Amino acid sequence: MPYDAATPPAAGRRVVMLVDNAVEGDSRVQKAARSAADAGWDVTLLGCARVDAERRWRLGAAEVRVLPLDAPRDSRPAVGDPGDGVPGPRDDRPRPVGGMSGLRRRLVARGGLPLRAARLARRPVEHAQVRYWQARLGDRAWRRLEPGLWDYERVAGPVVDALRPDLIHAHDFRMLGVAARAVDRARDRGRAVKLVWDAHEWLPGARPRRDNARWLPAHLGYVREYVGHADAVVTVSDTLADLLVRDHALPERPTVVLNAPVTDAEPVSAAEPVVAAEPVTGAGSVPVDAGEADDRDAPDLRARCGLTAGTPLLVYSGAMAVQRGVDTVVEALPRLPGVHLALVVADPAAGYVRQAVAGAARRGVADRVHVLPYVPHRQLVAFLAAADVGLIPLHHWPNHEIALITKFFEYAHARLPIVVSDVRTMADTVRATGQGEVFRARDAADLARAVRTVLADPPRYRAAYDGPDSPLSTWTWEAQADRLTTLYHHLLTPTPTPTPTPLP
The CATH number given to whatever domain includes residue 232 is 3.40.50.2000
Q: What was the pLDDT predicted at 87?
A: 45
200 & 333 share domain: no
Q: At what angle do helices 174-188 and 215-226 cross, to 10 degrees?
A: 30
Q: What was the pLDDT predicted at 377?
A: 74
Question: Are the CB atoms for 363 and 333 separated by under 8 Å?
Answer: yes
Q: What was the pLDDT predicted at 469?
A: 84
- How far, in whole angstroms, is CA 237 from its chain's centroid? 13
216 & 118 share domain: no
330 & 389 share domain: yes
| Domain span at 346 | 290-472
Q: What was the pLDDT predicted at 279?
A: 28
356 & 431 share domain: yes
162 & 129 share domain: no
39 & 162 share domain: yes
Q: What was the pLDDT predicted at 438?
A: 98
Q: What pTM did the predictor assign? A: 0.79
Q: Structural domain tally of the chain? A: 3
189 & 316 share domain: no
Pick from 230, 256, 282: which residue ends a domain? 256
Q: What was the pLDDT predicted at 332?
A: 98
**DSSP state at residue 366:** G
Query: Is position 375 within any domain?
Result: yes
Query: Is position 188 within any domain?
Result: yes
Low-confidence spans in the chain with pLDDT less than 50: 1-8, 75-80, 82-100, 108, 265-291
Q: What was the pLDDT predicted at 9?
A: 53
Query: Is position 302 within any domain?
Result: yes
164 & 133 share domain: no
Q: What was the pLDDT predicted at 14?
A: 97
Query: Is position 496 within any domain?
Result: no
HEC string for 10-45: CCCCEEEEEECCCCCCCHHHHHHHHHHHHCCCEEEE
73 & 106 share domain: no
Query: Is position 248 within any domain?
Result: yes
316 & 415 share domain: yes
112 & 252 share domain: no
Rounded to 5°, angle at Cα 409 from 220 and 380: 105
Per-position DSSP letters for 57-74, written without gaps between them: EEETTEEEEEEETTS-GG
215 & 190 share domain: yes
